[in-house]
Chain A
Amino acid sequence: MPTIQDFQNWPDAHGRFGDFGGQFVAETLMAPLAELTEAYLSLRENPEFLAELDRDLTHYVGRPSPIYHAERLSRHVGGARILLKREDLNHTGAHKINNTIGQALVAKRMGKPRVIAETGAGQHGVATATVAARFGLKCVVYMGAVDIERQKINVYRMKLLGAEVVPVTSGSKTLKDALNEAMRDWVTNVADTFYIIGTVAGPHPYPMMVRDFNAIVGREARAQMLEQYGRLPDVLTACVGGGSNAIGLFHAFLNDSSVRMVGAEAAGEGIATGHHAASLAAGRPGVLHGNRTYVLCDDNGQITETHSVSAGLDYPGVGPEHAFLKDAGRAEYVGVTDDEALEAFHLLARTEGILAALESSHAVAQAMKLARELPKDGIVLCNLSGRGDKDVHTIAAREGVQV
C-alpha cells in the first residue's frame, strides 16, 4: 500500500484512493473490469504501446501544448503572473482527446471493434467519435435527451464523424443518466465493446487510466516551467466537473509540496441557492457510478440534479482521487459561480484574444482570484482546458443576443 505522503502512487491494488474509489458495480461488470484492468496494467508498461500513443499525441493531437503568459490579463488583475496551459489548442479543442486517444488505443489492443461513450455537453462524445473514426471503430454515444436539445451542433458533429448518438430519456435526461445507459450497454455487449469513460470517475481502473492519459498535461507543464522559468509555479488551478483536466494538471506536481492546488467547481447560481454542481465544496461522501466519492444527494441518498452554465461541469459526482486529495488536505476545492465564469470569459477574450470554454472560464476566474493574493513575481498556472467556440450560442442566449 502506498504511504499517504506519496501522492503519486495511488490508487492501491483495489483501485482505492484512501477511502475513495473502488469497484462498486454489479457482478456482471466485475469480469469486464478485471479484463480491462489486466490489459491496461500491462499496456501502461508496454514501450510499443506508449510509443504509439506518443506518436498520435504529437502528430494527431498536436502536443505539446504551450504554456502562455497572459500578460495583459495579469496586468489587468494586478497581482501575480497568470500562465495558461493551452489545452484549447489540441485537436478537437480540449484536453478530452488526450484520454480518448489513449482509450481507443487500448480498445484496439484488446481487439474490441465497438466503442461507446457517455457525453453531457458533447465534448467527450466528439472526442470519442473523432478517435473512433481515426482508428476505424464503430462508435455509439449516449447523450441525455435534454442535452441533445441544448447541444445540437455537437450532436451533428458526432454524426459527421460517423458516430451514432442515442438519446437517453431516463432520470434527469442528462449526463449522469447517459453514464448509466452507457454502463447498461456495456453490461449487455461486453464481448465486442469497449466503454470509453470521459472523466476520472467510474469504477477502477477508469479513474486511474483516464488520469494517466491526461497526466501528460502536468508532465509537460512541469518541464516547461522548469525550462522557461527555472522554477515551479506557486499555485495550480483547473476547473473540476468529473475532474479529468484538473487531475491531469495536478498529478505531476502532487509531490512538490511547495505547489498549492486549487480546483474550481461550478457554484452555478451560488452554493447557497442549491443550484450548483460543487460536489466537493458542498457534497458528502457517497457511492455513485461505481466508486465512492463526494456526491450531491438528498437525505434519502437520491442523487440531486445539478446546475451550471457549463454543461461539462454539470455532474453530481467527482473523480475519487480529488475526494482523496481534498480529505488529505493536498488540494483545495472552491466554487466559482456562473457570473464569475462569464466575467472571466469576457475578460480573457478582450485582454488576450482567447475564447475559453465556459468550463475553463471557471479556472480562469479562480486564477484571477489567486493572482490577487500573490505578489507580482508569483506564478499561477491555470489549465485552459478547452476553447469556447462551442459556447458562443449559450453565451449569446444568456446575454440576450441573437446570433
Chain B
Amino acid sequence: MSRIDRRFAALKSAGRTGLIPFVTAGDPAPEHHVALMHALVDAGADLIELGVPFSDPMADGPVIQHASERAIAKGVGLADVLAWVAAFRQRDNETPIVLMGYLNPVEIHGYERFANEAVVAGADGVLLVDCPLEEAAVLEPLRKAGLQQILLAAPTTAPARMAALCEAADGFLYYVSFAGITGAGRLSTQDIAARVADIRSHANAPVAVGFGVKDAQSAKAIAGFADAVVIGSALVERLEGATTAQDIAARVQGFLGPIRAALDAP
C-alpha cells in the first residue's frame, strides 16, 4: 500500500477530513523549504502538495504565478525540489508528497529519469495540471516506477468523462471546485456538495476538493462531504515575504492551525 493510500485509509478509519496544503517549492525561502514542509506537518497537514515552479503556469492565478516567478528567479529547479523531498524524508517517512506542476519541466528532465529520481527522493505522486487523462500515456514510466498520477475533475467535466476519471483515479481524485484558475474566490457549497457526493459514490479513490478554499470556514463547509480539503493560494499568499524559519513556521501555524481545528471539530 502506498503512503497516499495508507494516509487516506487512516483518515477514513479515524473519521477525519484530510488537510492538504499546497506550497510552491522554494517560496518564500529556498533555504528554509524543508523546514516549511515540516512546519506544514506540525500544523496538521496530512499530505503535502509541492508545486514545481514553471514559467508559464496557465491554470494558476496571480498568487501562485508570482510565487513561481519568485522561485524561478532564485534559480529553483526540479533537482532542488527533489533534493528537498529527500531531505524531508530523513525525518518524516509517513507524510505523502505529491509533486504538482506542469509537464514541460518533467518532459525536459526526461520521464524515466524523473520517475526514478522522484521515487528515490521519496515522492509519492504527481499532479501534472496540463496532462489530462487523454495524454497520460507519456506518464507510463512514472506509474511503472510507483508514482501515483493524481487526476483532476472539474464542474465542466462531462458525465462520460467523469466516469472515466473515476475509473482511472489513483491515490485520490482532485475535484476543482469551480471552472477557473487557482485562487479565485467563487464557491457554491451546495453545488460542490452535490457533485462531490456523486463522484465519491463512483470513484475508485478518495476525493479531495480544492480551488477557492481560503480559511477555516470555507474548509469546514467542504469537510462535510469531501475526503480532504486542498488549500493553496491563500497559504502561499500568507507565506509571501517570510525570510526566517521561525517566521515561516509561525505563519503556517497561524494559518493552518484554525483550519485543522475546524476540520477536527465535531
A residues contacting B by CB (< 8 A) are: 14, 22-28, 30-32, 34, 170-171, 176-177, 180, 183-184, 187-188, 190, 284-290, 292, 295, 297, 299-303
Determine the chain A residues whose CB is within 8 A of the CB of B53 once the complex forms.
302
A174 to chain B, nearest CB (A): 11
Determine the chain B residues whose CB is within 8 A of the CB of A22 once the complex forms.
134-135
A171 to chain B, nearest CB (A): 6
B residues contacting A by CB (< 8 A) are: 53-59, 61-62, 65-66, 69, 72, 77-79, 102-109, 129-132, 134-135, 151-158, 161, 176, 179-181, 184
Please state if B157 and A190 are interface contacts (CB–CB under 8 Å): no
Determine the chain B residues whose CB is within 8 A of the CB of A295 once the complex forms.
104
Please state if A26 and B78 are interface contacts (CB–CB under 8 Å): no
Other contacts beyond A31-B158, A300-B105: 11, CB < 8 A: A23-B134, A24-B131, A25-B132, A26-B129, A26-B154, A28-B156, A180-B57, A184-B181, A187-B179, A285-B107, A301-B105
Please state if B108 and A187 are interface contacts (CB–CB under 8 Å): no
A285 to chain B, nearest CB (A): 8
Determine the chain B residues whose CB is within 8 A of the CB of A288 once the complex forms.
56, 104
Please state if B134 and A14 are interface contacts (CB–CB under 8 Å): yes
Please state if A170 and B65 are interface contacts (CB–CB under 8 Å): yes
Please state if A28 and B176 are interface contacts (CB–CB under 8 Å): yes
8 Å CB contact of A171 from B56, B61, B103: B56
Determine the chain B residues whose CB is within 8 A of the CB of A297 once the complex forms.
55, 104, 108
Residue of A nearest to B72 (CB): A302
Please state if A300 and B184 are interface contacts (CB–CB under 8 Å): no
Determine the chain A residues whose CB is within 8 A of the CB of B59 once the complex forms.
26, 28, 184, 187
In the assembly, what is the distance between CA of A34 and CA of B162, in Å? 14
In the complex with contacts A184-B181, A187-B181, A300-B77, A290-B104 CB distance below 8 A:
no
In the assembly, what is the distance between CA of A160 and CA of B88, in Å? 57
In the assembly, what is the distance between CA of A190 and CA of B66, in Å? 25
In the assembly, what is the distance between CA of A22 and CA of B137, in Å? 12
Residue of B nearest to A184 (CB): B181
Please state if B56 and A31 are interface contacts (CB–CB under 8 Å): no
Please state if B181 and A190 are interface contacts (CB–CB under 8 Å): no
In the assembly, what is the distance between CA of A237 and CA of B189, in Å? 56
Please state if B132 and A30 are interface contacts (CB–CB under 8 Å): yes
Determine the chain A residues whose CB is within 8 A of the CB of B155 once the complex forms.
28
Please state if B105 and A28 are interface contacts (CB–CB under 8 Å): no
8 Å CB contact of A301 from B62, B108, B176: B108
Determine the chain B residues whose CB is within 8 A of the CB of A28 once the complex forms.
59, 152, 154-156, 176, 179-180
8 Å CB contact of A287 from B107, B151, B158: B107
Please state if B130 and A303 are interface contacts (CB–CB under 8 Å): no
B174 to chain A, nearest CB (A): 9
Among B53, B109, B181, residue most surrounded by chain A Cβ atoms (within 10 Å)? B181
B55 to chain A, nearest CB (A): 4
Please state if B58 and A26 are interface contacts (CB–CB under 8 Å): yes
Determine the chain B residues whose CB is within 8 A of the CB of A14 once the complex forms.
134
Determine the chain A residues whose CB is within 8 A of the CB of B66 once the complex forms.
170
Residue of A nearest to B108 (CB): A301
In the assembly, what is the distance between CA of A289 and CA of B55, in Å? 11
In the assembly, what is the distance between CA of A108 and CA of B103, in Å? 34
8 Å CB contact of B109 from A25, A32, A187, A301: A301
Determine the chain B residues whose CB is within 8 A of the CB of A289 once the complex forms.
56, 58
Please state if B108 and A303 are interface contacts (CB–CB under 8 Å): no
